[in-house]
Amino acid sequence: MKQAMVIITAFVARFLQRFRLPSSKRVLVHEILWIQILSAGIVGAFAIGALYWGGQWVLQDNYSRWALQWTEELNELGSPLYLSDDSEALLRLESFVKRYPEIGRVAYFRPDGAPLFSIDGDAKLEPPGRLSESMLEEARALVGSDQPYLLQSSILNPRQFEIMAPVWTESLADDGLFAFDPAVALTESKTELIGFVGMHLDFIIFHDRLLANIKVAIMILLVLLTAFALYGRRVLRRALASISDLQDPIQELARGNLKVKFEPAEHREISDIVEALETTATALSERDAMLMELANHDNLTGLFNRRRFMEELNVELANIAVHEHSSALFFIDLDQFKYVNDTCGHHAGDRLIRKVADELIRSVSENDIVARFGGDEFVILHCGTDERSVRDMAESILSNMRRLAHVEDERVFHIHCSIGVTMIDRAKANPDEIIAEADIACREAKSAGRNRMQFFEKSSHFVERASSDVGWMNRLRNAVDADSFELRFQPINQIDSGATKHHEVLLRLRGDDGKLLSPDAFLPSAVRFGLMSEIDLWAIRHSAEAYAEYVEESPQLRLSINLSANAFESDNLSEYVASVFAEHGVPANRIIFEITESLAVRRPRHVELQIDALREMGCKLALDDFGTGYSSFSYLQKLHFDFIKIDGSFVHDILNNPVDQKMIKLIAEVGREANMQTVAEYVQDAESLELLGELGVDLAQGFFVGRPTRRPLYKSTPISLSSRRNRRTWQN
């Protein structure tokens, strides 16, 4: 029964799917109710069907029984044929027929089959005719039998029956009761046929009663279903109220309100859902807070990052505009930080940075805002102050820094700093300019000998410089917004075959004089003003566009794109790359990303994750400027790069510098063992190219190989005979 219910419910559900409304218009209560009603209706229909067919079957069975029962009344029924006084018999028969409305007629026939008389019930029947010979013969054959009747029902109307029975008298043998032997006496007797009696039975009345009852049952079922629907709707609404109550809080949660409250539920299932939702909201809230923390803070020191600091600066500028007080911005750059990094490694540098951050926090008041601007640069926003207080504070910081001793590898480092300060008043509204002024002042302090502070002064030189720097910032911002950067493509050729392997994408900016500016001219400003990550993303997008544009004419096209450390500040770099590639139909395995050695070696966790994601996409990775950083050869195996780009400083004087030759040879060998192809940059002539081939370098890039061009060009370089001897096939 349970399985039948499951099947019925599933059938009903599939049936309902045809009439499924859009999800926005579907009401759970109604659906449950419809399923219940339809199931009940189907079960009810089955029940009524069973009632009808069962009733029919029972009636049919009873018809036969009743018909047979009346045959047992044949003694009574046949009485008009044998009674001496038949008046009483006729009266009895008439009342008998009237008592049973299903009796349509009782008819009597002579032994020859001629009709004698009949008693009719309510049915209007044709007068009985003479019995047919076949009927006579059949009926006569029944005389003396155990079942002396013929029972016929109509196929067309199974509720009607015809019964025909002979009526006969019997007598024992003369004086048979005297020498009485039961075994003999009961078998020897004389019979005499005295006539026939026939009955017409019609049970239509029972059938009509059954139908009437079924109609009543249907009506009752409909009334019950309607009542069930109305009551059930109410009950269901109440039962599902706890689900409905979740609607508003969930919508609030979807709108981002993580502090939404959920009402406790009465049902265990809903309680579980509520608990899950509260846990989710809490987790989302915590994650939001963490993301906000990450978005606003520097991972290493916990201080505000550049982005967050700029927001605070803008808020302070608004305060100054209202309250007309003065504030100051300190730009602090550590002196000789690179020395510690280079000497003791980047982990030591990180520890130093943290130490300095802690020291700066101790040096300022609670209202001041300290941020790490990047690398070894810090900024402090000192609110509501004057020049004298600023100077005192700067001297305090300098003094604290002078006392700061950092111990690494049993060595003590005294790290000083240079501080640039600019005052902020109502006249200044541009935060970038304020930063630039403080930065300029800091550089002036460094120029003046470091370990000191310098107020920003509007001398002509520094104004010009400030203007220049701020001008670069604006220019770069505009270049990004207006797509003013230009791309150039420089080939990188296989030394042994001379064939172009791939092209490096180079960024250019057109200067005021119309000449193209190299990245050296503007990238430092881009880094300083926090535009580098945007430029990186711009370069990726436009490189992908270029690929889509040129791949048709150069199906073997491959591009190598530079990524700065700033590009990895975003956790979504790989997703961005994937979406851009998908948008322009760029196969990931046709792109190489160049990452500087310093970033690769420092390899903070978030950078490593992004690099792994790019690799998983299918992109290749190249280690740029190898040899200039502080990595050892042991790192090469750990880094899992596809290419090592030997810094140009080793190639520049290769013909004359045996140390450079050794170095390059060593790098080439290590790269070969580590399954990485080596690329030599800044190849200027054929001799250098040939020598690089002899040393085992795989690829070459430089003016001799090919200059940067607007579109990727393929031009072979002379094949180095010596490199042929060292040639090894690389699978691409």
Count CB atoms within 10 A of the CB of residue 59: 18
Q: Could you please report the per-residue DSSP string of 302-321?
A: -SB-HHHHHHHHHHHHHHHH
* Residue 111 contacts other proteins per CB under 8 A: no
| Start-to-end Cα distance in the chain | 66
Tokens of 642: 């596809």
**3-state secondary structure at position 162:** strand
* Residue 658 contacts other proteins per CB under 8 A: no
* Residue 145 contacts other proteins per CB under 8 A: no
* Residue 172 contacts other proteins per CB under 8 A: yes
**Residue 167 beta carbon to other proteins: minimum distance, rounded to whole angstroms:** 7
Among 134, 187, 247, 656, binds other proteins (CB under 8 A): 187
Task: Assess contact for 587 and 618: CB atoms under 8 A.
Answer: yes
**3-state secondary structure at position 445:** helix
Among 61, 122, 170, 263, binds other proteins (CB under 8 A): 170
**Residue 77 beta carbon to other proteins: minimum distance, rounded to whole angstroms:** 11
- Residue 532: phi and psi, rounded to 5, are -65, -40
Using a 10 angstrom Cβ sphere, with 0-12 exposed, 13-18 middle and 19 or more buried, the burial of residue 182 is exposed
Using a 10 angstrom Cβ sphere, with 0-12 exposed, 13-18 middle and 19 or more buried, the burial of residue 92 is middle
* Residue 167 contacts other proteins per CB under 8 A: yes
* Residue 175 contacts other proteins per CB under 8 A: yes
CA nearest 78: which of 115, 108, 110? 108
**Residue 171 beta carbon to other proteins: minimum distance, rounded to whole angstroms:** 5
**Residue 199 beta carbon to other proteins: minimum distance, rounded to whole angstroms:** 17
* Residue 86 contacts other proteins per CB under 8 A: no
**Residue 94 beta carbon to other proteins: minimum distance, rounded to whole angstroms:** 17
Among 62, 169, 459, 637, binds other proteins (CB under 8 A): 169
Among 61, 76, 122, 549, binds other proteins (CB under 8 A): 76
Residue 315 Rama label (left phi>0; alpha psi -120 to 50; beta): alpha
Name the packing angle between helices 460-482 and 431-447 (round to 10°): 130
* 3-state percent helix, strand, coil for the chain, nearest multiple of 5: 50, 20, 30
**Site size for other proteins, by CB under 8 A?**
26
Based on CB atoms, which residue is closest to other proteins, 87 or 134? 87
* Residue 174 contacts other proteins per CB under 8 A: yes
**Residue 170 beta carbon to other proteins: minimum distance, rounded to whole angstroms:** 3
* Residue 71 contacts other proteins per CB under 8 A: no
Residue ranges of alpha helices (H) inside 72-117 are 74-77, 79-82, 86-99
Residue ranges of alpha helices (H) inside 483-565 are 519-528, 532-550
Element (H, E) at 192: strand 189-202
**Residue 78 beta carbon to other proteins: minimum distance, rounded to whole angstroms:** 7
* Residue 134 contacts other proteins per CB under 8 A: no
> How far apart are alpha carbons 245 and 224 in whole angstroms?
30
* Residue 572 contacts other proteins per CB under 8 A: no
* Residue 157 contacts other proteins per CB under 8 A: no
Torsion from C-alpha of 40, 41, 42, 43, nearest 10 degrees: 50
Among 51, 123, 185, 517, binds other proteins (CB under 8 A): 185
Site string for other proteins, 189-208 (x = CB under 8 A): x----x--------------
* Residue 91 contacts other proteins per CB under 8 A: no
* Residue 82 contacts other proteins per CB under 8 A: yes
* Residue 96 contacts other proteins per CB under 8 A: no
* Residue 176 contacts other proteins per CB under 8 A: yes
Based on CB atoms, which residue is closest to other proteins, 188 or 395? 188
Contact set with other proteins (CB under 8 A): 75-76, 78-79, 82-84, 167, 169-178, 180-182, 185-187, 189, 194
